[in-house]
Structure formats: structure tokens, C-alpha cells
Amino acid sequence: MEQTATIWTVLYWASLAASGYIGFIYFRDLGDVTQMVLKVKRKNMLWFIRNEYKIIFPGIAAGLFAAVLHLATGAGGSSVLFWILMAVLVIFYGFTWVWVHIGLRHQQDKATYYSIAEAKRYVAPEDSVIVIENKGHARAHPDYEIWRPHLAGNHQGLGGENVIITYCSMTHLGHGYKPEIDGEKLNLEVLAQHGNNLIMRDNNTGEPIQQMYGNRERDARDGPRMQEWPTFRMTFRGFEKAYPEGEVFLNRPSKNPLVWLVDFIVNSAFVVGLAKQYRREEPVMDNVEHIDRRLPLKTFVWGFNVGDDYTCYTEDFVKSAGVPINSQVGGRGIVAQYDNTFESLGIWYNDSGEPVSQIDFFGNSDKGKLERVETVKAGSFWHVWANFFPTTDINRPNSVGHSNEGAEVA
């Protein structure tokens, strides 16, 4: 009898230890807010994203086995200690799963868009909104409304195209993508962030996708990726002027009281965490591998690339120019200008071979109608942009001098 009791006790503690270890790693790597105090390696996070359920199911099973042993045989002794340990396991597994899969639930195919008149009840005129447009059909996404779901789109598409907004509050980046790779529609879900930038998972393949890159990790940086869609920022009042028939994304509260409570807790955590991210010089979450101090870390930049050539502009630099900035990026002509009427910084391709001297918000120039640069990451934090693209220039003034050393800094 004593030997049997010893076996039960060993099995109890072994199962509990296994469940606790797996639960802690789950909590650490995918708990999101846990990264404010815990260091997480990107490779570990990607491994957990790919294998989430394969890992946590055995961990939960081990915890349940330990609970059955204790309740049936008294293994482990103290009931007080047992219930404390069970509570810890519930936090490790329950908090993490609820935070990610309910608190951050996306709206890739079911976002609701409202008229400008309706949105005025919730969005201030001076609020910055992230805009995507196709064939005159425009959608605005206020930061506060999009920061929790992270993904917004619907089955109706944008002017007949399957286009969504992806959003990362740690980066202050909303960016448009067609959620397809090689013609295959992706089933995206928000899972985590690293490098202060959103990581999604394509649930069709289980592969992680970093927002800044737009491709599945297994395909490497030069592999197939989602098509980027021209995305720009402007004030809400500017959006109303430019697109009076435009739509506005609003993330209205759930009518389910339990889901509402989860949303309230998540939103409250976001408010606290983002207040620190926006006000402090250093990143709130210590997972940025490359720090570049050519600009204050929390400067907003409009970063983009043409091929392997990367550069970025600050709003102050473009405003101070007073005229269109003509430069060369990746062998193509580029025009940048701030529009005071619509309060928006725009960047367009210019393939005319001649400098542009006049251009309006819609891309109408003295050299014809110009197309927006689809790779522009509008208004993202400098420290995030530079972390992912460390070779970037800053405020490239013209077609001469492409080196970092020659770049002018505002």
C-alpha cells in the first residue's frame, strides 16, 4: 500500500511539473502583455505559434491527470497547495488562450463599417485614421477602433478586391494587404508580437506571418507574400472632405456580457501599455534586436521600399520642404508631399522621367495621374521600422546620394 502511494505521489508531482512547465512557456511566449516583464526569443515564439495546440493539449491533460490523482488518492498531500497550483495552471492556460483567441479576436471577414455621420459619435475630427481606397471606395480605420481586433475586412471586399487592414498598436502601424498568397486565401489570426510588431498565423498552414514582411515564415524573406495595398494616414476631418461617401470601421462593444468583460479588460490593458509605449523613449516590450538612434525612437516615419532599397520620411521634413520632394528609390522616381487641405502625407511613383512640381492629394500632378506607393508603412514608430529594415535611409532629399551617411535628418 505504501509503495502504491509513493507511485501515485511521484506521478502526481511529475504530471504537475510537466503541466506547469508547458503552461508557463505558453503564458510567456503567447501571453502578449507578459512580454512587458519577460524576455521572449522570436524563434521560440514562432515555434509555439506553429504548434500551439499540439503543445498545450498534453500540458492540460497532464494537469487534469494530476488533479484526478489528488482527488482520488490524496497524492501530493495538502489540498490548499493543490488548489493554489491548480489556480496557477488556470492562469497559465486560461488567461493566455482567452486573451489571444477571444480578447484579440479578429474581423478579417466580418468587420462592420459605418457612415461618416454615424462615426462622428465616436471619432474626433482631429483623430488620425488609416485609409485604404479602391476605385473611389474608401475606408477609414481610427487607431482606437482597430487596435484590439488588429484585422478588419469583410466579404464585400474593397471595390471588388479582397483587401483588409492589418494593425499593430505597438508599431502604430495600419497596413493594407490582400490576404492571399499565390492565389490562395489566407485564414489569418492574431497571435503575438515580436520586435514591437504584430505576428499573425495563417490557420490554413499554421505558419506565422510578421506584419512588416507579409510572407509566411517558411517561405523566407524572398518568398511569395501577400500583395501590399496603398495605405495612408489622414485626419478624420480630412477623410470626410476627401471621401464624403466613405466608410468608417467601428469596433462596437459585444452584447454578450462575458465577452464584453473580456473586451473591457483587454482594452484597459491596452490603454495602460500604449500610454507607456507612446510616452517613453525606450520600447515598452524589450524584444527589439536592432536599435538605431539616428532619430528619436518614437518618431513617426513613413517608411517604404522599392525592391531592396529602403528609405523613410518624417512628416516634419516633408512639410518643411513646402514643395513636392522628388527622389529616386530602387531606380524609380518617387514624389512625397504633405497636403494641408486633407492633412495627409502622400508618396507616389513618378515614372515620367521628370521632376513633379505640383501634385494634389489624389495623385493628380503636372506629369499626369500618379499611383501611390503600395509599400508605404504610414506613420510607424521609427524604432520598429529601423529594426526590421536597418539599411534604411532617412529623408532622402533627391535623386543624388543614396547612402545612409548622406541622408538628411529632420
HEC secondary structure over 338-374: EECCCCEEEEEEECCCCCCCCECCCCEECCEECCECC
SS3 label, residue 51: helix
Indicate the residue type of 255: K
Q: Note if the pTM is more than 0.85.
A: yes
Nearest to 158 by CA among 182, 186, 127, 136: 136
Q: How confident is the model at residue 1 (pLDDT cuts 50, 70, 90)?
A: low
C-alpha span between 234 and 378 (Å, rounded): 10
Whether residue 387 has pLDDT greater than 90:
yes
Q: Give tens-digit pLDDT for 277-328.
A: 888 898 988 889 999 999 999 999 999 999 999 999 999 999 999 999 999 9
Across the range 40-50, mean pLDDT stands at 93
Cα end-to-end span (Å), the chain: 79
8 Å CB contact between 20 and 85: yes
The least confident of 6-15, 180-189, 333-342 is 6-15
Q: Which residues contact 16 (CB under 8 A, 6 or more apart)?
A: 62, 63, 66, 76, 85
CA 330 to chain centre: 26
- How high is the pLDDT of residue 65? 95
Across the range 244-259, mean pLDDT stands at 94
Cell for 84?
A: 493554489
Whether residue 185 has pLDDT greater than 80:
yes
Angle at 393 between CA 390 and CA 398, to 5 degrees: 165
Whether residue 2 has pLDDT greater than 80:
no
Cell for 74?
A: 490524496
Whether residue 406 has pLDDT greater than 80:
no
Q: Give tens-digit pLDDT for 74-117.
A: 887 888 999 999 999 999 999 999 999 999 899 999 999 999 99
8 Å CB contact between 396 and 327: yes
